[in-house]
Chains A and B, each alone.
Chain A
Amino acid sequence: MALATVIIRETNTVSVTVTTATSSNMGILDTPNTTLATAYAIPADSYSYEKWQRLNVSANASGNTIQGIRVWRTGTLGGGSDTHTTNARTAAYAGAASYSTPVLTQTAAANRETMPTSDPGATNLGIGGTLTPTSDGVGLISTTGYSDYLVHQIHVHSSTTAGPAAANTLYIQYDEYA
């Protein structure tokens, strides 16, 4: 029995380019797997480009079930008042976000909730627009497919001084049932 192949896919630009993401570095560049470089640093009183990322079950020969996605970040942002916001939330989930070309201004899609800084303890990113799987197969992936978009964005406060921030880590967790 083979486990499902699950990857993170990121969508970018007006061309809706979809790429496998193996990093989630954020800056003023709308590209996947962004290199950490001063040129892409987020200035004070500014926003990063939104990230639009999904969990993609790209192969699933055994028909395993993927569900229970949780997203959180650990680490400290650059300044005490910087924020990292997202559409991921454990309650009052707004459903699946429809892709919109990423921008580096504040957006409603990415600013529904502060990104949890530890395991949120419950599903906070949906599948098919819902956090809770149902018996008729909604809210889970049992063949191949995508989760809802994880949309997130960083705001650097006006008081933050220029310089590298401490390393942060974005976690995406799921359960797989055979």
Chain B
Amino acid sequence: MSDESYPEGEIEEWQWEAHYLDGSILYQSGHKFKDIEQDKLHSFYMVHKERAPLILMWDPSYKLIHFYRVVIAHGSGGEQRLRLYCFGYQTKDLKNIFVIMPDGGLVITDDINKVRVYI
């Protein structure tokens, strides 16, 4: 993915890519999450300019999950913020959410509420 895909001022540290069965790729830049055609997915990527991509191999039984959890902290040092990048899938019987932490670590959970963050 070229740098041109990350317009200055709109950079998200991690961005998604939808890789389709026919080999084409839908990039987050310029598209909305709801634009992803899940019935044509081969894999779902979370990509970072300086890290290896995280790849979710797709299954037709999956329903894709993607959202951001944002924490704003007002402490003695003023305001601090952090963002968790959450993606994963849900089926009739199970849910798996992959949470990219601020340090790049990955937490895997069936319930995002189990992930507690403090600044």
Contact = CB atoms under 8 A, between A and B. Distances in A.
Contacts of B67: 175-178
B72 A8 contact: yes
Contact of B116 (A8, A118, A122, A174): A118
B30 interface: yes
Interface string A109-126: 000000000110110000
Interface residues of A, number: 29
Interface stretch (B42-50, B75-83, B100-108): B75-83
Interface residues of B, number: 27
Interface in A15-36: 21-24, 36
Nearest to B71: A173
Given A1-B30, A74-B118, A175 B69 contact: yes
A30 B28 CA distance: 44
B21 interface: no
A168 B68 contact: no
Contacts, number: 79
B73 interface: yes
A171 B72 contact: yes
A22 B74 CA distance: 7
A65 to B, nearest CB: 9
A94 interface: no
A122 B79 contact: no
A89 to B, nearest CB: 17
B74 A21 contact: yes
Interface of A: 1-3, 6, 8, 21-24, 36, 62-63, 74, 118-119, 121-122, 167-178
10 closest A-B pairs (Cβ-Cβ)? A169-B75, A24-B74, A22-B79, A167-B76, A178-B33, A176-B68, A170-B74, A177-B67, A2-B10, A172-B72
